[in-house]
Amino acid sequence: MLDRDRDVLTRIRQGLLYTESEASFQAPLRRSDLIFDYNRTRPSDAERRRSLLEAILGSVGARTVLLSPFHAGFGSNVHIGDDFFGNVNLTFVDDVEIRIGDGVMIAPGVTLTTTGHPVHPDLRVDFRRFSEPIVIEDKVWIGSNVVVLPGVRIGYGAVVGAGSVVTHDIPAMTVAVGVPCRVVRQITDEDLNTRTAPVEGPRTNA
């Protein structure tokens, strides 16, 4: 790697501004053609879809479901754990890493973007931008049409309500909603009795 490329990587990792031209050396890490292929495979072709997903993502766990279509800037910067469910039109803007834990569920139309741009237009020449990693911990549920912005961590077991824009970290075991997204309450054992049905024993007729 050239020294100038190392310097750009250092700036990227520090969350500082960089341009499209400066970051062009990372183009081989993009998995655009493979993502195109994945989005056109038959839903029943599980073996082919799994093979493509392993080639696209930086890492992927067991029993992963990612419905088509999905979109990613790179794909190779996305890391997904076990028992993941991603619904249609999930978008990863993964100029830097997006790390998703085990047992995470993501509803339709969600965008996870690690990248933003300067406010002043003179600083946006050559698509100048900054990037910060996103972390989604285990057993998080993200509702439809949520946008998660750069540098956010969503804690274990949290629920993010539909339509929210997540600008700051969300603590573990909380429900958060809104624009901007704010915590509205804790998740407690009382929630174990909400919208549940028996899961053990024979079904009886009244």
CATH number at residue 115: 2.160.10.10
CA 163 vs. chain centroid, Å, equals 15
Residues 106-149 pLDDT 10s: 999 999 999 999 999 999 999 999 999 999 999 999 999 999 99
Residues 53-94 pLDDT 10s: 999 999 999 999 999 999 999 999 999 999 999 999 999 999
Domain assignment of residue 52, given as a range: 3-185
pLDDT band at 195 (very low <50, low <70, confident <90, very high): confident
Q: How far is it, in rounded angstroms, from Cα 206 to Cα 190?
A: 27
Whether 158 maps to a domain, the answer reads: yes
Whether 190 maps to a domain, the answer reads: no
Whether 205 maps to a domain, the answer reads: no
Whether 59 maps to a domain, the answer reads: yes
* pTM: predicted TM-score of the whole model, two decimal places: 0.92
What are 42's two structure tokens? 């038959």
Q: How far is it, in rounded angstroms, from Cα 164 to Cα 178?
A: 5
Whether 192 maps to a domain, the answer reads: no
Amino acid at 54: E
User: Which positions are annotated as active-site residues?
Assistant: 117
Q: How far is it, in rounded angstroms, from Cα 105 to Cα 94?
A: 19
Please determine, for residue 202, whether its predicted confidence score (pLDDT) is greater than 70: no
Residues 15-61 pLDDT 10s: 999 999 999 999 999 999 999 999 999 999 999 999 999 999 999 99
Domain count, the chain: 1
Q: What is the DSSP secondary structure assignment for residue 87, as one 8-state letter?
A: -
Rg of the Cα atoms in the chain: 19
**Dihedral angle of Cα 52, 58, 59, 63, to the nearest 10 degrees:** -40
Whether 77 maps to a domain, the answer reads: yes
Strand pairing category for 147-148 and 111-113? parallel
Whether 195 maps to a domain, the answer reads: no
Q: Closest Cα to residue 35, out of 65, 58, 56? A: 56
Name 64's bridge partners: none
Whether 35 maps to a domain, the answer reads: yes
